Structure 1
Amino acid sequence: MTTQNANTETQFFDLHTSGVGYLNRVRVVEKNARGERVKPYLACTISAMNGSRDELTGKIPYVFFDAIVSGAAAKELVLQYQEAANDRDTKVLIAFKMGDLRAETFVYKQGDRKGQTGVSLKTRLLFISLMKVNGETVFKAEPKEVAAPTAPQEQPVPQQAVSPAPQVPPQQPAPVAHAPAQQYAAPSYPQPVPMAAGGFDSPQFPQH
């Protein structure tokens, strides 16, 4: 359990264990270890195979789990073969997946180890993928089909609407202002004064 952010958002991480073992001691539990009544639940013991077979004795090591049957399909299957699992002469082999593994201590109440402290591995039986009764397969889960991821389809890139450029009328060349032609007045000359003969002021010569 880990906190993601300040908004108190939490996320749960599963720790699963898978293996093969024998199903035993199927029962409905109505009281806890202190004798107090609890909400009834389905429980079982799983003798899981662990390691390699001993070359001298031919025995296989086992690890024992005390499991609460949690998965809906697993509950139905365990109840269906409860009688066979509790029969000493019948071997019910299962391939399983379990989670929430934890260790709890207890005290032996009888036998050679009476009064001694033991350790019990507690877990939850989530899923059964295979079950055999005396070597005969009675159940096999169908493999889940995993759909191949489909490539995302390319989406057309939206084009930004472009307004047509305003049509500019062709510009007429600006008229060139010509300076008005300067009119030159013809120079006025004085009109000749008509003179009479001898009206010319000639120099006077003295008469002899």
Structure 2
Amino acid sequence: MREITREEWLHQAIDALRPKFEEIGFPLPERIHVSVGFGYGAKRESSIILGQCWPTPLSEDGVNHIFLSPEMDDSARVLDVLIHELVHAADNCRSGHKGDFAKYAKLLGLTGKMTATVATPELAETLKELADAIGPYSHAKLYTRGRPVKPEGPKGPEAPEEPEAPAAPSGPKKQGTRMIKVQCSPECECGGYVVRTTAKWIEVGMPICPVGTVMEIA
């Protein structure tokens, strides 16, 4: 039997979770794009954004895009983060982490700080059962802070793992200044709109130019 891809695994999970959203009167969109990857604002040097959902107006085909961090490989935890992002999709990202988002997230069994929810014990058990039903999550964890290795020496094999210094990935180097330059494409109707902001706000989400295009770090 062919091993399903991680995206197929995630779509199976979404289909299995749809009835829960129907039960609370907060249905999911008919179509949702879901992938594994880093969302805008994710930084190697600090905490990684575990999930991110994009609203339909920013998608060419008018479909929500959900991204889940490649640092996660525990099936139940992946489903925990996925259901958080699905609440954003059902709300089309209108409420942020307040209002309808908070209301329906709690009804589904998410608890804690709404920007970083975790499953209640009851929901966690349901998600574990769902993960077991779908099968192994078809993903190999990405170690962005270095692959853990057991140190050699008298401490023995039970010594805690320490991360191995990772090689630098491809892509632009991190800017050293506190204020980060963010620019829109020169081909955009805005003409290449430029702003400067901090890493804190980039983690929340990339700025959007006056005509609605998502900007990029220059």
Q: Which has the higher strand share?
A: 1
TM band (smaller chain): under 0.3
TM-score, length of structure 2 as denominator length: 0.20
Give the structure with the larger helix fraction.
Answer: 2
TM-score w.r.t. length of structure 1? 0.21
